[in-house]
């Protein structure tokens, strides 16, 4: 029971988080040092220098849609392992079990956040940890999505009971809505993460999980599993977008399985990439290694709803960091002074301030992006319009956001994430010790600040370079001649430098809340 | 033009690289033993940010105008401070980072619903048991001068087990009073006792428990949640541990 002595002070710490409503991220205490001015300046300098070096030297970027691939399912042995039910079934069972555990511990466990499995698992391991994993390695969410698995099982059972009939109603999804349901759900999730003060309360997490499960299962029931996963299931859509950066893709080569796909999954080059519906059905399938970030530069039509999600993602990532700076604290104080301290626990002035951030950041971001898109449109003499320009280049900004996101969260993941070790042994906080790890005490010196600074600044500069490269690829594919390509890229370059420098600037701010 | 630009930029990069190496190489020196005076007055800490270097053996000499609990987050070190006396708070700055310091003023700490209270019934100041194995007991005798007070108690290992001893000379029970811990609660959780009464806690739960006077920190937070007033735990500053 020694562990409790260690954890209880930590529980006090968690208590303080509840008592401190101006708390930025959903859950977990941030401890990183601000990046020193020198690192900030060097990072910013590199971003600018490399951008112009890129433009003036390496202009021979290919705009072609093909790139290096290595098929992991190409030879027999890895194929057997990677597609074996012996591997996949336990993973799926485990994922559904984890969803159940989050709900069970949320309702039935210790109400103190740090002594309960659900907050650490949901906010740190799943949301922060898995999104980084997916962005770098590949979209495992398509495999472990518990709602997809549950619905798949239900469909299987239904087929046995009523052969030849579908469980879902199979209503036609109104195409004009695009990914709007996912966008709205993710917007709400963002609000819970950055503005709602009770997002770390276990019972609230369980309630959110139940509500989201019901929405998702009903969506699948009405429109069919794959339709809802593509348009309505926020995490499938968001993780899918992040995984475009990753080093793996699933690809279907034959056209046959795409003929019956419920969506038009092929891009403008006729490639069917990362369509899990076709992948599941096809016999001619590939699981490819590919260069990082290349999946963000595919030749495809981007719609307004997708652009909206890209902007929401970019802005959210920035706001999550910005809301911990003293600049934001001043804004909160201003709102507090203006509207008073009133309101309840859930809807008070601080939540109002953060809600304004969650709403205004994406809007502001969008306006700025449109302005630069307009500059780009002007620079190509009307060959492409402003909004089309925005749609074309939206994806290319993601590497900067992603790099910043990793720099922003790595400490939280590495230090607070360790709490999961004792928690798996005692998920309900009721004194169990299933795996004997309850006594584990967090190693808070796991990563040295200096290494972290190099890593953070290095990642952001790298993200910046990849972003410049991607935008260049898109430009070469889109514009008729090289002069226009270059001209179009100057405004984009300025925007990227601004975004990169802002990201670095936030890292250089001491976290005050 | 096309030739000039890369030249200029390569120059920039070289300068940048040098600066980077230089900034990375600076620092150094051996860990030191440091005594740092810290003043807490009216809920404000001076200095607001305590800066040390990795490996330093730090003693904060805390001079607070009010008694309370001083808590260095993540390192998770706590110390009880007494009003108007200097408390030594020692830690070795092994981990780099920026760590929050919070402070519970004792006065607000135990604002109960009823009865008088004084600074003495702060956390663990009246009684504090060893860890009680299931089946073990712990006893405490009410003293004469406690008449009219309300003494909260809890198990530090499970804050949900808590209650109040309401001491009064007129209508309090005398002799012996028993309180039992189960896995869910302490029963009874409120007893009226007179001076001289011996209270015996029995741990009938399935795990180790303790009996500690005062409120558990979590409960203080709970109270805050109900009365949406000012925070009980005040964030007063940071310790910054810079890499060497």
User: Does residue A459 belong to any structural domain of this protein?
Assistant: yes
Q: Do B71 and A9 touch (CB under 8 A)?
A: yes
Residue A188 included in any domain: no
Mind listing the pLDDT tens digit for each residue in B52-95?
Answer: 999 999 999 999 888 888 999 999 888 888 888 899 999 999 99
Task: State pLDDT tens for residues A43-94.
Answer: 998 888 888 887 777 556 677 778 899 999 888 888 888 888 899 999 999 9
Structure confidence at residue A23 (pLDDT) = 40
Torsion angle (degrees, nearest 10) of CA B2, B5, B6, B11: 160
Tell whether A96 is covered by a domain.
no
Q: Which of A329, A490, A334, A506 lies closest to A405, judged by CA?
A: A506
Query: For residue A445, which residues of chain B lie inside 8 Å, CB to CB?
Result: 94-96
**Main-chain dihedrals φ then ψ at residue B102, nearest 5 degrees:** -125, 165
| Contact criterion met (CB < 8 Å) for A444 and B97 | yes
Question: Of A198-212, B44-58, B167-181, which range is least confident?
Answer: B167-181
Q: Is residue A95 part of a domain?
A: no
Report CA torsion sign: A289, A295, A301, A303. positive
Kindly report, residue by residue over B195-204, the tens digit of the pLDDT.
Answer: 888 889 988 8
Interface test with A, best of B52, B78, B217 (most A CBs within 10 A): B217
Burial letters for A116-143: b for 16+ Cβ neighbours within 10 Å, e otherwise? bbbbbbbbbbbbbbbbbbbbbebbbbbe
Residue A322 lies in a domain: yes
Residue A49 located in a structural domain: yes
Given B5, B97, B217, which is nearest A33 (Cβ)?
B97
Contact criterion met (CB < 8 Å) for A9 and B218: no
Domains of chain B with bracketed CATH? 33-108+231-242 (2.60.40.420), 114-214 (no CATH)
* Residue A495 included in any domain: yes
Using pLDDT thresholds of 50, 70 and 90, give the confidence band for residue B27: low
Q: Is B67 helix (H, G, I), strand (E, B) or coil?
A: coil
Q: Please indicate, yes or no, if residue A431 is contained in any of the structural domains.
A: yes
Find the helix or strand (DSSP H, E) in which B166 lies.
strand B158-167
Would you place residue A19 in the very low, low, confident or very high pLDDT band (cuts 50, 70, 90)?
very low
Question: By CA distance, what is A347's nearest residue in B?
Answer: B228
CA of B164 vs chain A CAs: smallest distance (Å): 21
Instruction: Domain count for chain A, please give it.
Output: 1
pTM of structure: 0.79
A296 CB burial (10 A radius; 0-12, 13-18, 19+): buried
Q: Are B218 and B195 in contact (CB under 8 A)?
A: no
- The answer to whether residue A269 neighbours chain B at the CB level (below 8 Å) is no
Domain of A327?
37-58+309-513
């Amino acid at each position: 029971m020694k562990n409790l002595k260690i954890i209880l002070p930590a529980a006090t710490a968690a208590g303080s988080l509840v008592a401190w409503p101006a708390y930025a991220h959903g859950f977990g205490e941030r401890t990183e040092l601000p990046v020193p001015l020198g690192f900030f300046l060097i990072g910013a300098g590199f971003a600018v220098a490399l951008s112009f070096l890129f433009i003036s030297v390496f202009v021979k970027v290919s705009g072609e849609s093909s790139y290096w691939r290595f098929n992991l399912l190409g030879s027999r042995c890895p194929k057997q392992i990677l597609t074996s039910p012996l591997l996949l079934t336990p993973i799926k069972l485990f994922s559904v079990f984890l969803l159940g555990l989050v709900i069970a511990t949320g309702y039935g466990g210790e109400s103190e956040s740090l002594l309960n499995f659900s907050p650490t698992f949901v906010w740190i391991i799943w949301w922060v940890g898995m999104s980084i994993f997916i962005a770098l390695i590949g979209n495992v969410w398509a495999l472990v999505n518990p709602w997809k698995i549950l619905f798949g099982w239900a469909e299987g059972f239904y087929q046995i009971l009523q052969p030849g009939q579908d469980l879902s109603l199979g209503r036609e999804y109104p195409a004009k809505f695009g990914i709007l349901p996912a966008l709205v759900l993710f917007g709400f999730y963002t609000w819970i993460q950055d503005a709602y003060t009770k997002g770390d309360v276990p019972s609230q997490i369980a309630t959110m999980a139940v509500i989201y499960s019901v929405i998702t299962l009903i969506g699948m029931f009405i429109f069919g599993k794959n339709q809802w996963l593509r348009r309505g299931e926020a995490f499938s859509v968001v993780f899918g977008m992040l995984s475009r950066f990753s080093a793996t893709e699933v690809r279907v080569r034959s056209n046959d399985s795409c003929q019956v796909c419920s969506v038009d999954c092929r891009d403008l080059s006729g490639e069917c990439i990362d369509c899990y519906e076709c992948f599941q059905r096809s016999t001619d399938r590939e699981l490819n290694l590919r260069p990082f970030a290349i999946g963000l530069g595919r030749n495809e039509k981007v719609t307004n709803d997708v652009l909206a999600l890209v902007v929401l993602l970019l802005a959210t990532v920035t706001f999550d960091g910005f809301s911990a700076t003293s600049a934001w604290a001043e804004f909160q104080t201003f709102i507090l002074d203006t509207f008073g301290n009133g309101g309840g626990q859930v809807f008070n002035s601080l939540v109002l301030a953060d809600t304004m951030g969650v709403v205004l950041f994406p809007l502001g971001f969008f306006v700025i992006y449109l302005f630069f898109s307009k500059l780009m449109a002007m620079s190509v003499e009307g060959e492409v319009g402003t909004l089309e320009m925005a749609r074309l280049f939206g994806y290319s900004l993601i590497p900067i956001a992603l790099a910043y996101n990793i720099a922003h969260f790595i400490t939280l993941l590495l230090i607070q994430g360790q709490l999961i070790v004792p928690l798996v042994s005692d998920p309900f906080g009721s004194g169990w010790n299933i795996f004997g790890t309850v006594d584990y005490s967090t190693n808070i010196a796991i990563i040295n600040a200096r290494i972290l600074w190099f890593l953070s600044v290095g990642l952001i500069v790298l993200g910046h370079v990849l972003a410049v490269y991607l935008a260049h690829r898109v430009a070469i594919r889109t514009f008729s001649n090289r002069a226009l390509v270059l001209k179009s890229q100057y405004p984009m370059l300025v925007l990227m430098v601004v975004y990169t420098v802002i990201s670095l600037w936030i890292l250089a701010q001491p976290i005050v809340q | 033009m096309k030739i000039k630009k890369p030249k200029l930029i390569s120059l920039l990069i070289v300068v940048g690289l040098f600066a980077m190496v230089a900034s990375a190489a600076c620092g150094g020196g051996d860990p030191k033993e440091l005594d740092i005076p810290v003043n807490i007055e009216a809920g404000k800490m001076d200095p607001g940010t305590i800066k040390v270097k990795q490996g330093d053996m730090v003693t904060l000499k805390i001079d607070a105008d009010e008694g309370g609990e001083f808590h260095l987050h993540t390192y998770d070190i706590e110390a009880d401070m007494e009003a108007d006396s200097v408390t030594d708070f020692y830690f070795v700055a092994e981990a780099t980072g920026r760590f929050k310091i919070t402070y519970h003023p004792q006065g607000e700490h135990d604002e109960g619903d009823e009865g008088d209270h004084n600074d003495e019934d702060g956390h663990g100041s009246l009684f504090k048991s060893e860890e009680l194995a299931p089946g073990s007991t712990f006893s405490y005798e009410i003293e004469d001068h406690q008449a009219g007070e309300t003494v909260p108690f809890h198990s530090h290992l499970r804050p949900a087990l808590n209650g109040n001893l309401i001491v009064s000379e007129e209508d309090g029970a005398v002799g012996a009073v028993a309180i039992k811990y189960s896995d869910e609660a302490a029963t009874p959780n409120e007893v009226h006792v007179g001076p001289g009464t011996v209270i015996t806690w029995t741990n009938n739960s399935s795990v180790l428990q303790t009996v500690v006077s005062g409120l558990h920190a979590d409960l203080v937070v709970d109270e805050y949640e109900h009365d949406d007033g000012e925070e009980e735990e005040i964030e007063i500053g940071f310790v910054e541990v810079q890499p060497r």
